[in-house]
Amino acid sequence: MLLRPVSHETIAITVMIVDPLFRWTKRKAVSFAGRNEHGHQILFHLLYGLHNRLLRWRPGSVTMTVHGVPLEMPSEHLLPFYVGANPLQERPLADLATRLAARDGHLDAIDVGANIGDTVSLMAASVSGGTFLCVEGSEHFLPYLRSNVSRLPASTTVFVEARLLGDKRRGRERAARHPIRYGLPLGRDGR
């Protein structure tokens, strides 16, 4: 069987239908993630399964609000589900950032494994100004990290360092086996 080329109209209609459905299933699944009642767990698994099926037609990025902060992330990112299941996941860190900034008048922090910048965005939203160093070795997450920290207030200074930390040889081996989980080495020599 020969495949026929897909028209631009077909792609536009698919995007018009799939994109809102994708966003709706992710929002609804997140809303059921932290609830322990049996019916809510069934709805979560149904919506999560549908959401994963829609990923085939919805590659690219999505902007979701996490802890009140809009974050751009890959459409397959699980952060909204983690936060939906445990809404207080990063709250102690934001409280600590607030206390340190109040005590010292300024917050300096290092985020190793910064991923998409969710922790730095949450801390920056909790304090009025700060200096952050974000270290991320995954080429997959770096564009999202840079995009998210570029939206922070002007009083916040963020440095992004694209590095893998640890044994370079073993890090490259792990990254080659699990590119999304561990990130890909940057450059030929892992820098």
Q: Which tens digit of pLDDT belongs to each residue from 4-34?
A: 444 555 555 555 666 676 677 777 777 766 6
The CA dihedral of 185, 188, 189, 191, to the nearest 10 degrees, is -50
* Helix intervals (H) in 36-158: 38-54, 79-85, 91-104, 118-126, 142-150
Which whole-number Å values give the CA distances from 70 to 103, 134, 144, in the listed order? Answer: 28, 18, 12
Give the residue-averaged pLDDT of 32-49.
70
Asked whether the beta carbons of 97 and 109 are under 8 A apart, the reply is yes
Query: Who's near 172: CB < 8 A, 6+ residues apart?
Result: 185, 190
Give the residue-averaged pLDDT of 35-41.
70
pLDDT, mean over the chain: 76
What residue spans define the domains of the chain? 8-85, 91-182
Query: Who's near 39: CB < 8 A, 6+ residues apart?
Result: none
CATH code assigned to 91-182: 3.40.50.150
Name the pairing type of β-strands 69-74 and 61-66.
antiparallel
Give the residue-averaged pLDDT of 124-150.
92
| Helix and strand element counts for the chain (H, E) | 8, 5
pTM: 0.67
> First and final CA of the chain: distance in angstroms?
46
Q: pLDDT tier at 185 (50, 70, 90 boundaries)?
A: very low
Q: How do residues 84-133 score in pLDDT, each as one tens digit? A: 777 777 888 889 999 999 999 999 999 999 999 999 999 999 998 899 99
